[in-house]
Amino acid sequence: MALHWRPVGPEPAETYWRRRAVLAAVVVLLPLLVAFLLRDRDDADRLSGASPGPGGSPSGPPAAAAPTGPPDPAASSPPGQTEPCPAGGVTVAVRADKDSYPVGGRPVLELAVTNTSPAACALDLGQGAVELLIFSGSDRIWSSEDCASGRGAKITTLEPAKPAVTRLTWAGRRSLPGCEGPKAEAQPGTYRVSGRVGEMRVQGGSFRIVG
């Protein structure tokens, strides 16, 4: 079969050539137009941060999952926090720094708190929690609380087997609760020191005042 490149028909040849030119342009430009539209869609998806889902529709990033289960106690505890000393986990000892003093002397009293547990622990050793007392027989002579100016807390970390020592100097005079009444000088005799840390009370050694 012969191919006829020359237009055949009742209309002028120019009309057929124009139609062929338009048809050829459509055939050439249609794939380019489709590719251009697909590229614009991909660019829009990338700018919005979406990616095609299983069905071809854009989908955003997955939502963060809400935490489930009970809270972790360790996560809510302040880092480096020292646990309070357990009941029976400390020992307390009190003493005077000498065996005897002259009348008018100023004995130095020591209260030592030792952590006997295997780990470090925290204990209040402030003025309101620690008390030193002096007795002569059953006669209460003096207490460090009587004329104390404050009762603030002092939380102290106690390392195992390392005593924390509090030292107070006694002026050698009597005292009464509230720092009232006369403060007579202690007379020659035998005196005994005792101590308190929180609710723990201990008896210490004795000393003498000589004149």
Q: Which of 181, 131, 184, 125 is nearest to 158 (CA)?
A: 125
**pLDDT class of 10 with cuts at 50, 70, 90:** low
What's the CATH code of the domain at 175? 2.60.40.10
Mean pLDDT of 180-194: 94
**Same domain as 137, residue 201:** yes
Mean pLDDT of 133-151: 93
Contact 108, 165 (CB under 8 A): no
pLDDT value of position 47: 47
Residue 125 has pLDDT above 50, yes or no: yes
- The residue range of the domain holding 20 is 13-51
pLDDT value of position 151: 76
**Same domain as 106, residue 38:** no
Residue 12 has pLDDT above 50, yes or no: yes
**Same domain as 95, residue 39:** no
Residue 128 has pLDDT above 60, yes or no: yes
Mean pLDDT of 6-11: 57
Residue 184 has pLDDT above 80, yes or no: yes
Residue 64 falls inside a structural domain: no
102 Cβ contact list (under 8 Å, min separation 6): 209, 210, 211
**Same domain as 202, residue 105:** yes
pLDDT value of position 3: 43
The count of domains in the chain is 2
Give tens-digit pLDDT for 64-73.
444 444 433 3
Read off the pTM.
0.60
Mean pLDDT of 192-196: 97
d(CA 37, CA 51): 17
> Which of the two residues, 60 and 167, has the higher pLDDT score?
167
d(CA 109, CA 93): 11
**Same domain as 123, residue 26:** no
**Same domain as 176, residue 117:** yes
**Same domain as 96, residue 46:** no
**Same domain as 116, residue 20:** no
pLDDT value of position 150: 75
**Same domain as 170, residue 102:** yes
Residue 186 falls inside a structural domain: yes
Residue 58 has pLDDT above 50, yes or no: no
